[in-house]
Amino acid sequence: MENSPYVFVEHKDICYQTRLKGVSFANKWLKIREDGQIIVLGSNPECNGYAWDGCSPKFFFFDVYFGTPDGIADRETRKPLTYYASLIHDVLYQFRDCYREQVSREIIDQIFLDELRQQSFRLSGLYFWVVRIFGWIYWQDIMRKYPWTKYIFLLIFLTLLWLLFFLFTSAVQGLSAWISSLF
């Protein structure tokens, strides 16, 4: 996975019970059963595990990843709290064209929220709303249809990062001034 955009690779099959009732689908990476169970086929012998980028967006620059944090490690699994939610969400988005008529983006995003809450991820609401607001970009294949748009989204991301840095430094300066005034 040298210079790969993927952060995680799962080599085991992951089973998860969802709200996808009455949907049936299977390929070499994913099975969806009529009872709502999905199975991500990480152990597929034809492939070397199922790989994904965790919570999007992410990009790497000089061997360092930048982008959406995946959360702290769970005490039991030692995996980030968003690990399974992002796995399920990514695989369902990846093969959406195969069941788009049966499964809406809203349902897949709700499954993402369900798993974030199951993991007691404190930013689950924020991550859900970011997916709801920006998920259409992936759902409609905007970046594949118009490759230049990735630069616009990168610019927006860097602007937001700069804004957060500016707010943080302003807060630190204000706190420093307040502490100075005490003495």
pLDDT (0 to 100) of residue 37 = 93
pLDDT (0 to 100) of residue 166 = 76
* Residue pLDDT, tens place only, 119-132: 888 888 888 888 88
The predicted model scores a pTM of: 0.73
Q: Which residues contact 26 (CB under 8 A, 6 or more apart)?
A: 32
Alpha-carbon gap, residue 63 to 59, rounded angstroms = 10
Contact 92, 38 (CB under 8 A): yes
Q: Which residues contact 100 (CB under 8 A, 6 or more apart)?
A: none
pLDDT (0 to 100) of residue 73 = 76
Alpha-carbon gap, residue 4 to 132, rounded angstroms = 26
Segment 142-169 shows an average pLDDT of: 74
Alpha-carbon gap, residue 47 to 57, rounded angstroms = 24
Please tell me which of 99-103, 109-113, 178-182 the model is most confident about, judged by mean pLDDT: 109-113
pLDDT (0 to 100) of residue 180 = 78
| Cα 156 versus chain centre, distance | 18
pLDDT (0 to 100) of residue 2 = 47
| pLDDT score of 137 more than 60 | yes
Alpha-carbon dihedral sign for residues 8, 13, 15, 21 = positive
CA dihedral 36, 101, 135, 17 (to 10 degrees): 0
Q: In one letter, which amino acid is 161? A: L
- Alpha-carbon distances of 22 from 7, 71, 111, 112, 133, rounded to whole Å: 32, 33, 15, 19, 27
| pLDDT score of 4 more than 60 | no
| DSSP-derived secondary structure for 18-68 | -S-TT--EE-SSEEE-TTSEEEEETT-TTSS-EEE-SSSPEEEETTEEEE-
* Residue pLDDT, tens place only, 13-51: 999 998 888 888 988 889 999 998 999 998 888 878 888
Q: Which band of pLDDT confidence, cut at 50, 70 and 90, is reported for residue 178?
A: confident
* Residue pLDDT, tens place only, 63-103: 777 767 777 778 888 988 888 998 999 999 888 888 778 88
